[in-house]
Amino acid sequence: MRLSRYFLPVLKENPAEAQIVSHRYMLRAGMIKQQAAGIYSWLPLGFKVLKRIEQIVHEEQIRAGHIPLLMPTLQPADLWRESGRYDDYGQEMLRIKDRHERDMLFGPTNEEMITDIFRAHVNSYKELPLTLYHIQWKFRDEVRPRFGVMRGREFLMKDGYNFDLTKEDALHAYNRHMVSYLRTYERMGLTAIPMRAASGPIGGDNTHEFLVLASTGESEVFYDAKVPELKLGDRAVDYDNRAEVAAICEEFTTLYARTDETHDEAAFNAIPEERRKVGRGIEVGQIFYFGTKYSESMGATVVTAEGNRVPVEMGSHGIGVSRLLGALIEANHDDKGIIWPEGVTPFHCGIVNLKQGDAGTDAACEGLYKALVAAGLDPLYDDRDERAGAKFATMDLIGLPWRITVGPKGLGKGVVELTSRRTGESVEMSAEDAVARIVEIYAAHR
Ligand code: ATP
Ligand code: MG
């Protein structure tokens, strides 16, 4: 993309309404625009990152054997009357009437609807196990929408639902989700710690939340300093291997890590003092096992091998896709702007032309741009007729991890400059080497 033809409405001033850094930078970098409290338009740059995150979520769900579909945002109230949650959900649910005075609602989650799909089409234990998921907009009329996309009213969530014959099978599905979530967050360059949680309105007793450590997080967290060091890395996981998946879950959940809701002072104090950490965290996901809570009330049953009809075992599992943008920025920024991890960056690298209109620098930039595109990458070329300082400021603000700077002086020596946004380090090299280096860096993120 050439910046002169892009739509990147950056703001020079800090918007007064933004209290935390991610909200401030998302507004300043022209990623989002608020349309009503907690409701945002996703401008091109924000939309690009949102799509990158969505793509990673999809890939990891499919890798785990889960099947994508798409349910509507609007739901009939009658489904929720069956489960009893139409009354229980309270004011967070946006209730709507259609022209025939029928009660509808904008879905805050989809347990009822997925259970309805299941009961309409599945009859036999032979069709299990089954995990269906979608990535769809949710609406929750939050008392206090705030911090930008972090606590929106309309927000994008990946929500998945497992259907199994036995509790043992459903707990394997739970573990599979835990491991697939760990992989998902790691691919984005995030450390999200699974913490035992309290269940809330979804119900069920087996549940973990995934928290990203950040001083601006809404949850207070207590953890062993060794927990954030745990990494899946590039180990290959066989999701059908129950023992292997369970062992990974055990590895990631044995050391102490709890939110204030489930905190146990005595257990915490048993950790050696120098490893006891208290901090704050952003909830970026949650997994639940809740057994037959919905299948019983809604009549979602299967016939077993013995010919008995039993309610299906279920769980539900969510990732805060739009909230992740905020969490990523909270975890990756400095005083100049965002620093995107390579896994989610909106453009792979920036090209800054220090002397726009100069035949030599223009040609060198065009050459770099075309070479990067030919290599399958997505560069952003700042070809505007602007001062170098303004170009650097924009690049730093929008946070592309790599920048190639092209000026007449360097070209005279046959070099361009490759700069890391994270370390600020610059290295001079030939344009060909710069392209090769960028290609190599992103080969690890395909
Ligand atoms: P919270 O405790 O933050 O209100 P929740 O526990 O009610 O969230 P879940 O039902 O577990 O949310 O939804 C799954 C994920 O969706 C959460 O882990 C979170 O990342 C995201 N999420 C929930 N509410 C919002 C919101 N209002 N804005 C943005 N993301 C949200
Ligand atoms: Mg939750």
User: For residue 174, what are the CA distances in angstroms to 178, 200, 236?
Assistant: 6, 17, 19
Residue 138, ligand 1, Cβ within 6 A: no
Domain annotation covers residue 342:
no
| pLDDT at 446 (0 to 100) | 67
Shared domain for 324 and 294, answered yes or no, is: yes
Among candidate residues 337, 371, 398, the one where a domain is terminated: 337
Residue 151, ligand 1, Cβ within 6 A: yes
Shared domain for 48 and 13, answered yes or no, is: yes
Q: Please write down the HEC assignment for all residues of the chain.
A: CEHHHCCCCCCCCCCCCCCCHHHHHHHHCCCEEEEECCEEEECHHHHHHHHHHHHHHHHHHHHCCCEECCCCCEEEHHHHHHHCHHHHCHHHCEEEECCCCCEEEECCCCHHHHHHHHHHHCCEHHHCCEEEEEEEEEECCCCCCECHHHECCEEEEEEEEEEECCHHHHHHHHHHHHHHHHHHHHHCCCCEEEEECCCHHHCCCEEEEEEEECCCCCEEEEEECCHHHCCCCCCCCCCCCHHHHHHHHHHHHCCCEEECCCCCHHHHHCCCHHHEEEEEEEEEEEEEEEECHHHHHHCCEEECCCCCEEECEEEEEEEEHHHHHHHHHHHCEECCEECCCCCCCCCCEEEEECCCCCHHHHHHHHHHHHHHHHCCCCEEEECCCCCHHHHHHHHHHHCCCEEEEECHHHHHHCCEEEEECCCCCEEEECHHHHHHHHHHHHHCCC
CATH code of the domain containing 367: 3.40.50.800
Domain annotation covers residue 86:
yes
- For atom 16 of ligand 1, which residue has the closest CA? 320
Shared domain for 333 and 352, answered yes or no, is: no
**How far is 260 from 269, CA to CA, in rounded Å?**
15
Domain annotation covers residue 55:
yes
The mean pLDDT value for 20-31 works out to 98
| Closest-CA residue to 166 (of 53, 335, 292, 12) | 292
What's the distance, Cα to Cα, between the start and end of the chain in Å?
Answer: 20
| pLDDT at 200 (0 to 100) | 64
Domain annotation covers residue 1:
no
Residue 283, ligand 1, Cβ within 6 A: yes
Peptide bond into 341 cis (omega under 30): no
Q: What is the pLDDT of residues 232-273, one digit of tens each?
A: 998 999 999 999 999 999 999 999 999 999 999 999 999 999
Q: What tokens appear for 53 in the block?
A: 């995150």
Instruction: Say whether pLDDT at 320 is over 70.
Output: yes
Confidence at 358, pLDDT banded by 50, 70, 90: very high
Shared domain for 308 and 377, answered yes or no, is: no
Domain annotation covers residue 105:
yes
Q: Which atom of ligand 1 lies nearest, measured to the CA of 218?
A: 3
Instruction: Say whether pLDDT at 337 is over 90.
Output: yes
Q: What are phi and psi of 18, to 5 degrees?
A: -90, 120
Confidence at 324, pLDDT banded by 50, 70, 90: very high
Shared domain for 303 and 381, answered yes or no, is: no
Shared domain for 351 and 311, answered yes or no, is: no
Q: What tokens appear for 39 in the block?
A: 């409701």
How many residues are given for the chain?
Answer: 446
Shared domain for 320 and 183, answered yes or no, is: yes
Instruction: Say whether pLDDT at 307 is over 70.
Output: yes
Confidence at 444, pLDDT banded by 50, 70, 90: confident
Q: How far is the CA of 151 from the centre of ligand 1 (A)?
A: 8
Mean residue pLDDT across the chain: 96
- For atom 19 of ligand 1, which residue has the closest CA? 320
Shared domain for 182 and 284, answered yes or no, is: yes
Domain count, the chain: 2
CATH code of the domain containing 204: 3.30.930.10
- For atom 25 of ligand 1, which residue has the closest CA? 151
Q: How far is the CA of 142 from the centre of ligand 1 (A)?
A: 10
Instruction: Say whether pLDDT at 204 is over 70.
Output: no
| pLDDT at 202 (0 to 100) | 56
Question: Which of 178, 185, 286, 330 to mutate for ligand 1's pocket (most ligand atoms within 8 Å of CB)?
Answer: 286
Shared domain for 425 and 306, answered yes or no, is: no
Q: Which ligand is nearest to the CA of 107?
A: 1
Domain annotation covers residue 4:
no
Among candidate residues 337, 366, 394, the one where a domain is terminated: 337
pTM of the model as a whole: 0.96
Residue 285, ligand 1, Cβ within 6 A: yes
- For atom 11 of ligand 1, which residue has the closest CA? 286
Domain membership of residue 52 as a residue range: 9-337
CB-proximal residues (5 Å) to ion ligand 2: 286
The mean pLDDT value for 290-295 works out to 94
Q: How far is the CA of 188 from the centre of ligand 1 (A)?
A: 19
CA diameter of the chain:
82
| pLDDT at 407 (0 to 100) | 97
Among candidate residues 337, 367, 390, the one where a domain is terminated: 337
- For atom 26 of ligand 1, which residue has the closest CA? 151
Domain annotation covers residue 417:
yes
Q: How far is the CA of 184 from the centre of ligand 2 (A)?
A: 17
Shared domain for 278 and 413, answered yes or no, is: no
The mean pLDDT value for 97-105 works out to 98
| pLDDT at 338 (0 to 100) | 98
Shared domain for 333 and 372, answered yes or no, is: no
- For atom 31 of ligand 1, which residue has the closest CA? 320
Shared domain for 372 and 331, answered yes or no, is: no
**How far is 161 from 204, CA to CA, in rounded Å?**
14
Partners of 332 in the beta sheet? none
